[in-house]
């Protein structure tokens, strides 16, 4: 068996290498659209005295909303002294899980491409390489299902907490004093919506890759050989004499 690095770009023209490049790109888009997000909502308070107050709500990854002050301590709003008030909710676990899976996929795609392009002769000569690749690829596909679903729910929680209904329920004093509250300028969450889309896209891509890698394993080749042998045996049967 030949050992050592031997550069061969041919796998990039095959599904095994091409889909790994796609996974590398989709992982970048997934963690980039989520991990680099920062947005701001502008909240308008319509006081009973006829004047208005404005609050700026800035939030960003990893979306620990319960640590973000909606109103600073001893702030005067609508002629009332208001204590410190924080947003409600914490979506850090789902957001960090999502970004973590994306980073792991990004790194694994690089390592796999190095193996495909430089050590394919060793990869195909061993049983361990394809089986390990298949097992890890299938596990990552499952992780994409879990983390994308968790982040989709976490994103919805962020939208609810920073929307008009969420802000109004957080500002309890507005109900007692007749102050109307409304989010008049919403943060653009398009990139966060895109991150969820790329999460499920990664699920589809990695699930398809698992099938492609499975065809490189000894289990699939033995099954295919056995089926071919059975078909050839039936074709070579001698017809019985009449």
DSSP H helices, the chain, are 15-35, 92-118, 120-125, 128-162, 164-170, 172-176, 190-214, 218-235
Stretch 176-198: mean pLDDT: 88
Residue 233 lies in a domain: no
Half-sphere exposure of 137 (CA within 13 A, CB side): 27
Cis peptide bond prior to 62, omega within 30° of 0 = yes
- Check residue 238 and give its pLDDT: 45
Residue 43 lies in a domain: yes
Half-sphere exposure of 22 (CA within 13 A, CB side): 17
Domain limits at 67?
10-218
Residue 195 lies in a domain: yes
pLDDT tens for 112-171 read 999 999 988 888 888 888 899 999 999 999 999 999 999 999 999 999 999 888 888 888
Residue 111 lies in a domain: yes
pLDDT tens for 24-82 read 999 999 999 999 999 999 988 888 777 788 888 899 999 999 999 888 877 888 777 88
Quote the tokens at residue 55: 């609050």
User: What domain count does the chain have?
Assistant: 1
Q: At a CB cut-off of 8 Å and minimum separation 6, what does 213 contact?
A: 16, 130, 133, 134, 137
**Is the pTM value of this prediction over 0.75?**
yes
Residue 104 lies in a domain: yes
Residue 56 lies in a domain: yes
Burial of 216 (0-12, 13-18, 19+ CB in 10 A): middle
pLDDT tens for 190-239 read 999 999 999 999 999 999 999 999 888 876 555 444 445 445 455 555 45
Residue 223 lies in a domain: no
């Amino acid at each position: 068996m030949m050992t050592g690095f031997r550069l061969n770009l041919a796998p990039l023209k095959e599904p095994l290498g091409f889909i790994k490049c796609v996974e590398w790109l989709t992982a970048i888009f997934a963690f980039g659209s989520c991990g680099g997000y920062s947005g701001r909502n502008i909240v308008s308070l319509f006081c009973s005295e006829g004047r208005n107050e404005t609050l700026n709500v800035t939030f960003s990854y990893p979306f620990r909303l319960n640590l973000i002050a909606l109103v600073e301590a001893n702030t005067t709003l609508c002629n009332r002294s208001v204590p410190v008030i924080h947003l409600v909710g914490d979506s850090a676990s789902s957001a960090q899980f999502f970004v973590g899976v994306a980073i792991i996929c990004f790194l694994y795609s690089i390592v796999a491409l190095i193996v495909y392009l430089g050590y394919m002769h060793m990869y195909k000569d061993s049983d361990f390489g394809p089986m390990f690749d298949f097992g890890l690829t299938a596990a990552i596909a499952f992780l994409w299902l879990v983390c994308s679903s968790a982040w989709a729910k976490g994103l919805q929680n962020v939208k609810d907490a920073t929307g008009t209904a969420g802000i109004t329920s957080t500002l309890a004093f507005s109900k007692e004093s007749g102050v109307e509250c409304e989010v008049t300028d919403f943060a653009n969450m398009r990139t966060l919506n895109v991150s969820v889309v790329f999460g499920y896209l990664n699920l589809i891509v990695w699930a398809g890759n698992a099938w492609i890698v499975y065809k490189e394993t000894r289990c699939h080749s033995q099954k295919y050989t056995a089926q071919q042998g059975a078909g050839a045996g039936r074709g070579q049967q001698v017809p019985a004499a009449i």
